[in-house]
Chains A and B, each alone.
Chain A
Amino acid sequence: MPSRTVSHGSSGRLRGLFLVMVLVFLESSVFTLAFASSDQHSPTTAHSDGHKATDHGSHNNTGKAFPVLDLNYENVRVPFEISLWVLLASLMKLGFHLVPHLSNIVPESCLLIVVGLLVGGIIRGTGETVPPVLDSKLFFYILLPPIILDAGYFLPIRPFMENLGTILIFAVVGTLWNAFFVGGLLYGVCQIGTESSSILSRIGLLQCLLFGSIISAVDPVAVLAVFEEIHINELLHILVFGESLLNDAVTVVLYHLFEEFSGIGTVTLVKGFLGVISFFVVALGGVLVGVLYGILAAFTSRFTSHTRVIEPLFVFLYSYMAYLSAEIFHLSGIMALIACGAVMRPYVEANISHKSHTTIKYFLKMWSSVSETLIFIFLGVATVAGPHDWNWTFVTVTVILCLVARVIGVVGLTFIINKFRIVKLTTKDQFIIAYGGLRGAIAFSLGFLLEKDHFPEREIFLTAIITVIFFTVFVQGMTIKPLVELLAVKKKQEAKRSINEEIHTQFLDHLLTGIEDICGHYGHHHWKDKLNRFNKKYVKKCLIAGERSKEPQLIAFYHKMEMKQAIQLVESGGGIKLPSAMPSTVSMQNIQPRPPTKPAAERAIPQLSKTKEEEIRKILRTNLQRTRQRLRSYNRHTLVADPYEDGLSDLFLKKQKMFQIEKKLKEMNTYLTVPAPPPDSPTMCRARLASGKHTDFKPDQVQKGNKMCSDPQAYSIKPALNKVPMIQVDLASPQSPDSVNLLDEFGQANQQEEEEQGLMMKPPSRPREGKKPGEEDEAKDQQKLMRCLSDPGPSADEDEDGAFLP
Chain B
Amino acid sequence: MGALQSLPGRPEYSDLAEKTGFSFEQIGVLHKRFKQLSHNEETLRRDHFNEIHDLAFNPIRAQIIEAFFDRRNFHQDGEGKVQEIGFEEFVVVMSHFRPPSDHMTEEQREKTRREKLRFLFNMHDTDNDGTITLEEYRHVVEELLSRSGTLEKETAKCIADAAMLEVASISVGHMEPDEFYEGITFEHFLKLLDGFEIESRMTIRFLNMDTTTLCK
Summed over the interface, the residue pairs from A and B with CB atoms below 8 Å come to a total of 219
Q: Which residues of A contact B140 (CB under 8 A)?
A: 503, 507
- Tell which of A552, A558, A588, A729 touches B148, judged by Cβ atoms closer than 8 Å: A552
Give complex CA distance A766, B214 in Å. Answer: 51
Q: Which of B30, B135, B161, B214 touches A588 (beta carbons < 8 Å)?
A: B161
Does the CB pair B181–A510 fall under 8 Å? Answer: no
User: In whole angstroms, what is the CA distance A732 to B173 when docked?
Assistant: 9
Select which of A501, A518, A519, A773 is within 8 A of B193 by beta carbon: A501
Residue of A nearest to B160 (CB): A503
Measured between alpha carbons, how far is A723 from B174 in the docked complex, in Å? 26
What are the interface flags for A402-440 relative to B under an 8 Å C-beta threshold, 1 for contact and 0 otherwise? 000000000000000000001110000000000000000
Residues of B within 8 A of A514 (CB): 55, 58, 60-61, 64
- Please name all residues of chain A whose beta carbon is closer than 8 Å to the beta carbon of B33 when the two chains form the complex: 518-520
Q: Which of B30, B102, B175: most chain A CB closer than 10 A?
A: B175
Q: Nearest Cβ distance between residue A351 and chain B, in whole angstroms?
A: 18
Q: B204 to A515, Cβ gap below 8 A? A: yes
Shortest B63–chain A CB gap in Å is: 8
Question: Would B166 and A499 count as touching, CB distance under 8 A?
Answer: yes
Contact (Cβ within 8 A) B159 A558: yes
| Contact status A516-B204, CB under 8 Å | yes
CB of B142, distance to nearest CB on chain A (Å): 11
Q: Pick the contact of A506: B120, B144, B195 (CB < 8 A).
A: B144
Q: Which of B30, B57, B176, B216 has the most chain A CB within a 10 Å cutoff?
A: B57
Q: Which of B97, B120, B159, B168 contacts A586 (CB 8 A)?
A: B168
B176: chain A residues within 8 A (beta carbon): 585
Instruction: Please report the C-alpha to C-alpha distance between residue A391 and residue B172 in the assembled complex, in whole angstroms.
Output: 67
Question: Quick one: which of A682-723 are within 8 Å of B by CB?
Answer: 710, 712, 715, 719, 723
CB <8 Å contact, B162 and A725: yes
Known: A594-B180, A596-B177, A598-B177. A503 touches B159 (CB 8 A): yes
Q: Is A71 an interface residue (CB 8 A)?
A: no
Q: Which residues of A contact B196 (CB under 8 A)?
A: 501, 504
- Select the stretch in B11-19, B69-77, B80-88, B205-213 that faces chain A: B205-213
**Complex Cα spacing A588 to B179, Å:** 11
CB distance A500 to B177 under 8 Å?
no
A640 interfacial by beta-carbon distance below 8 Å: no
Q: List B contacts of A29 (CB < 8 A).
A: none
Contact with B along A518-543 (1 / 0, CB 8 A): 11111111100100010000000000
Q: What is the interface residue range for chain B against chain A?
A: 35 or more
Query: How would residues 190 to 206 of chain B score, 1 for a CB under 8 Å from any chain A CB and 0 otherwise?
Result: 00110111001111111
Nearest-neighbor residue (CB-CB) of A723 within chain B: B158
A512-B202 contact given A518-B49, A584-B169, A768-B129, CB 8 Å threshold: yes
Main secondary structure of the interface of B (DSSP, over half): helix
The reply to whether B165 and A510 form a contact with Cβ atoms under 8 Å apart is no
Q: Name B102's closest neighbour in chain A (CB-CB).
A: A424
Q: A571 on the interface (CB 8 Å rule)?
A: no
- Which B residues are in CB contact (< 8 Å) with A552? 145, 148-150
List chain A residues, Cβ under 8 A from B203. 422, 512
Verify if A325 is at the interface (C-beta below 8 Å from B). no
Report yes or no: B175 in contact with A517, Cβ–Cβ below 8 A: no
Interface pair A588/B165, CB less than 8 Å apart = yes
Instruction: Select B150's contact among A511, A550, A768, beta carbons within 8 Å.
Output: A550
* B45 contacts A by Cβ under 8 Å: no
Beyond A586-B175, A590-B180, whether A422 also contacts B162 by CB under 8 A is: no
Can you name 27 A-B residue pairings with CB atoms under 8 Å? A424-B102, A508-B120, A510-B59, A510-B60, A518-B52, A518-B64, A519-B204, A521-B205, A521-B208, A521-B209, A523-B205, A523-B208, A552-B145, A552-B150, A582-B166, A583-B173, A584-B172, A586-B165, A586-B174, A590-B168, A590-B180, A591-B180, A719-B154, A728-B162, A729-B165, A773-B180, A773-B182
Q: Interface on A for B, CB 8 Å cutoff?
A: 422-424, 493, 498-501, 503-504, 506-508, 510-526, 529, 533, 550-552, 554-555, 558, 582-598, 710, 712, 715, 719, 723, 725, 728-729, 732, 748, 762, 766, 768-769, 772-773, 776, 800, 803-804, 806
What are the 5 tightest A-B residue pairs by CB atom distance, in nearest-first order? A552-B148, A517-B54, A520-B214, A514-B64, A584-B169
Task: Identify 18 new A-B residue pairs, CB closer than 8 A, beyond the known A500-B193, A590-B179, A728-B165.
Answer: A423-B197, A501-B195, A507-B144, A510-B58, A515-B97, A520-B215, A521-B204, A582-B173, A583-B173, A585-B175, A588-B165, A590-B175, A593-B180, A595-B178, A598-B177, A710-B154, A773-B133, A776-B133
